[in-house]
Structures are given as structure tokens and as C-alpha cells.
Amino acid sequence: MAKVSIVGAGSWGTALSKVLADNKHDVTVWSILEDEINMLREKKEHLTKLPGVTLPDSITYTTDLKQACTGMDIIVMAVPSPYVRSTAKSMKDLIADGQRIVNVAKGIEDESYLTLTEIIQQEIPQSVPCVLSGPSHAEEVGRELTTTLVAGAEKKEDAELIQNLFMCDYLRVYTSSDVLGIELGGALKNVIALAAGISDGLGQGDNAKAAIITRGIAEISKLGIAMGGKQESFTGLTGIGDLIVTCSSMHSRNRRAGILIGQGKTMKEAMDEVQMVVEGVYSAKAARGLAVKYNISMPIVTSVNEILFEGKSPATALAELMMRDRKPEGGSVDWNPNT
């Protein structure tokens, strides 16, 4: 049995706390919100973020960050991406040397272009940041529906520890050394999912959705490989796998926000209606900035930024995407001169 704390009691943190407790680990869940902790403690259910999922009685709930950070085998960082840095700052002096911190949020910081494990390493240099990611809606994991994830770490033994902690009959966990690629796939797919939702909101169909997913993973892969990620991460669960589920499901807050924007709502109106952090909005500017930095053409990412931050109408952005210069699909093509 391992001692594990979950820092962040949103839908994903709550779902993972159930997995770990069902696996007979000693689980502590932390939230900064006293009302949220009282609800979880009394109701054994997150009534707003994960309704209908009953949590094991063995879970401990606390608002004391020191309690959540002391004496743990693993700390799971499950706060939304915009709050990873501020939460890590608060944790810094409470973290022991060599403490493994597993980031499960998805995002890239706007101004620094850092991934979330890079932020954790910067703010808590004595820690060992790892990542757990993949195509996974909390609503389905909470209901014990079949799900697959990837545990990423610099050291094999750390990835295998995470694998062993979380793996069960409905949650299969693979391992990888490509922490950067895993995080880039998870963050960038949220931007593409906004585009997929906008397309749906405009009344487009399955053909358009397939095009966005396919061309979206091409953009993600080109940038990710240029930054040092591995091709397998982008063609695997943390790339195309996560992109498919986020672009296709109504569980996806990014897709839902995109639908509302495609229907004519502003970014703020869409985020208010979804009532959860739409992480693709926070990653979109960073994705565009990285595309410029690495000289990678990312027309879908560019269009999403123009819609979100520059007032371009979704219909105009779609028309411009469709009428860009003609080109072959795979870059340079060697035609057979005899045909």
C-alpha cells in the first residue's frame, strides 16, 4: 500500500482518488475550497464535478496543504493548468528532496511556453516531476469504463511505480520516457478540440471533423518533434488517441466551448456556460507562439487564436482555411515521371 495525495479536487482528481483508493492505497485529497472538502467528506461524492460517482470511505479530505505534501510516496498534481504554478509555489517549502509529483493536468503556460512538469521543476527544484496522461474523461473513469493512459518519467522505475499504483481491470497504464511529447500532445489537442467544436457549432459534419483531427495531429506532430518529442507519442495514446476523444465527446469542455463559439457566443460567454476551466483557451496563445519560434506552419492553431483573441468570425476563419494555397498532403512528393 502506498501513501498518495491528490492536490486538486476537480473531476479528474476526484476520479483518480477513487481509482487509487479502490486499489487499496492510502489516499488524501486536498482542495483550497473548504466547502468542496466538506461536501466530499460528508457526501462521499463530488456533487457538481462528478455526480453519481460514490467515493470510497477510506479517502481522507483536507484543506491543509502541509498534510497533503508530507510523507507521501506520490503526490498527484490535479489542479487546472492555469493554477499549476501558483499551487507549486505554495507547495515548495513542504516538499521533500526526491518527492515524485505526477502532473495530470494538460496545458502550456502562456508567457513562458513551459509545459506543466517544467513549471513544477522550476518552482519545486527538489522534486521529481512525472506525468500521467491519455484519452480519459473523468466521467467515464469514475464509472469504471475501460480507459488507457501513459505514465511518463525520466527514470523507468518512476514510470513503472506510477503504472503499478494506478493500473486496474478498467484502467490500463503504459510507460514512456517521453515526458515532453506526452505533455505537448495533451496540451495541443485541447486547441484542436476547440476548432472541432467550432466546426460543430457552425453546422459542419463528420467530414470536417475528420479533417480537423487529421490535419490537427499533423500540426501537433510537426511542432512536437521539432521541440524534441518522439513521433510515437503523437501517433499513440497521448497524441492521436487523446485528440480523437477530445474532439468527439460531449464530455470535452474544449469541444463544448468551441460549439458555443461556433454558434456565435464570445470566448468569455462560452467559458462561463461550460463552468469549468477550458484549458485549450489558455494553451492557444502558447501554441501559436511556439509555432512561430520553431517556424512550424500551424493554420488550425492560428485560426483558433484569431477567433478567440482577434475577433475573427468562425465562418470567415473556416473559409480562409479551406482556400489557402494548394499543396500536397504530405509535403514534398516525388511524382513518377512515367505516369
pTM of the model: 0.93
294 secondary structure, DSSP code: T
Instruction: Give me the amino acid identity at 272.
Output: D
What is the three-class DSSP state of 103?
A: strand
Rounded CA-CA distance 157/286 in Å is: 32
Residue for grid cell 509529483? 101
- In angstroms, the Cα distances linking 257 to 250, 266, 278, 281, 291 are 10, 10, 7, 9, 23
CA dihedral 291→296→300→303, nearest 10 degrees, is: 60
Rounded CA-CA distance 314/266 in Å is: 11
Kindly give the residue spans of alpha helices, DSSP state H, lying in the chain.
11-22, 34-43, 65-69, 84-91, 116-123, 138-142, 156-166, 179-201, 206-227, 231-235, 242-248, 253-262, 267-274, 279-293, 299-309, 314-322
Instruction: Give me the amino acid identity at 240.
Output: I
Rounded CA-CA distance 3/128 in Å is: 16
pLDDT band at 331 (very low <50, low <70, confident <90, very high): low
Rounded CA-CA distance 110/289 in Å is: 9
- pLDDT of amino acid 333: 66
Higher pLDDT: 267 or 42? It is 42
70 secondary structure, DSSP code: S
Catalytic residue among 18, 49, 106, 189: 189
Locate the domains of the chain by residue range: 3-177, 187-322
With 0-12 / 13-18 / 19 or more C-beta atoms within 10 angstroms meaning exposed / middle / buried, residue 148 is middle
- pLDDT of amino acid 332: 64
- Whether residue 142 contacts residue 50, with contact meaning beta carbons closer than 8 Å, is answered with yes
HSE (CB half, 13 Å, CA atoms) of 253?
23
Is pLDDT above 80 for 204? yes
A 10 A CB-CB count for 10 gives 21
Rounded CA-CA distance 290/272 in Å is: 28
pLDDT single digits (tens) 223-247 = 999 999 999 999 999 999 999 999 9
What CATH topology corresponds to 3-177?
Rossmann fold (3.40.50)
155 carries an active-site annotation: no
Burial 108-139 (b: 16+ CB within 10 A, else e): bbbeeebbbbbbbbebbeebbbbbbbbbbbbb
The mean pLDDT value for 27-32 works out to 98
pLDDT single digits (tens) 134-145 = 999 999 999 999
The mean pLDDT value for 111-122 works out to 96
CATH code for residues 187-322: 1.10.1040.10
- DSSP per-residue letters across 13-67: HHHHHHHHHHTT-EEEEE-S-HHHHHHHHHHSSBTTTBTT-PPPTT-EEES-HHH
With 0-12 / 13-18 / 19 or more C-beta atoms within 10 angstroms meaning exposed / middle / buried, residue 299 is middle
With 0-12 / 13-18 / 19 or more C-beta atoms within 10 angstroms meaning exposed / middle / buried, residue 201 is buried
- pLDDT of amino acid 329: 84
